[in-house]
Amino acid sequence: LLIESKNRDIMDSIRYALKIQTAMLPPKSSFKDNGVDGFILHQAKDVVAGDFYWIERHGDELFFAVADCTGHGVPGAILSLLCSNALNRAVDVMQLRDTGEILDTVREMIIRRLGKGEGADMKDGMDIALCRLNLKTNKMQFSGANNPIYVYSKETESISIAKACKQPVGLFVKQHPFDCKSFNLSPGDTVYLFTDGYADQFGGPQGKKFKYKPFREMILKGANSPLTEQKKQLQKTLRNWMRDVEQIDDICVMAVKV
């Protein structure tokens, strides 16, 4: 009875934490509200997640990101709120627009915040793919920390990989400024952002990881389908792959079509 009571209290607390985290996330209608076609697949390993997505608009510029904070569950969720708030401060308060400069500044904030307590410096932080899209010109800027993006060209029907910097947004041995990559997108092109949860999920007949190559091939195969259908296909493929295998990490996939 004591164990049941403690478990009930803990789960009630975590479910309320989910309400807070959900309230902090942008509504999934954010793309539609800004006249953009897009989808978000967000599936926590536990009730709350260390993966989060972030969307902000300033004038003709739409910022969007997918991030993977250290850990999952309650610790990951706490860190996700810190990182999300740092992004908001960099873009809303400090008025930064360059994606590389945003990540540099967010890194400084996270290191400073996590270094305020007693004991050794915490090496926690996040991996992230951050984009800034001009809604009038379709020019896009990308900066990433360990997380790349896929850019699908409707004209060539191919996917190009925009690589990220090999460092997290947080304390790291060899820190260097985050670089930026620029793209001139055309109508019908699609940008895919994701964390490592989907590709790293175990399953299939041999209980192995799904991996990035099949993930990319699946996206390419359905890239000309409506985004709603693409999301359904991602969910269906994941269910069929996992079967009875436990989800090992948070999963977050975002697509934005210009």
- If you average pLDDT over each of 29-33, 117-121, 182-186, which comes out highest? 182-186
Between β-strands 169-170 and 125-134, what pairing exists: parallel, antiparallel or unpaired?
Answer: antiparallel
- Spell out where 59-124 has E strands: 61-69
- Indicate the pLDDT class of residue 203, thresholds 50, 70 and 90: very high
Q: Report the distance separating Cα 167 and Cα 146, nearest Å.
A: 6
**Which residues neighbour 25 within 8 Å (Cβ) at sequence distance 6 or greater?**
42, 52, 53, 84
- The pLDDT of 11-38, averaged and rounded, is 90
**pLDDT (0 to 100) of residue 28:** 81
- Indicate the pLDDT class of residue 121, thresholds 50, 70 and 90: low
Written in H, E and C, the secondary structure of 106-170 is: HHHHHHHHHCCCCCCCCCCEEEEEEEEEECCCCEEEEEEEECCEEEEECCCCEEEEECCECCCEE
**In contact, 127 and 163? CB cutoff 8 Å:** no
- Indicate the pLDDT class of residue 181, thresholds 50, 70 and 90: very high
- Indicate the pLDDT class of residue 118, thresholds 50, 70 and 90: low
Q: Within 13 A of 180's CA, how many CA atoms are on the CB side?
A: 16
- The pLDDT of 223-251, averaged and rounded, is 95
- Residue 134: exposure state from Cβ atoms within 10 A (0-12, 13-18, ≥19): middle
**Which residues neighbour 126 within 8 Å (Cβ) at sequence distance 6 or greater?**
67, 68, 69, 70, 79, 80, 83, 110, 145, 168, 169, 170
| Residue 154, pLDDT above cutoff 70 | yes
**pLDDT (0 to 100) of residue 36:** 93
Instruction: Give per-residue pLDDT as tens, 52-109.
Output: 999 999 999 999 999 999 878 888 899 999 999 999 999 999 999 999 999 999 999 9
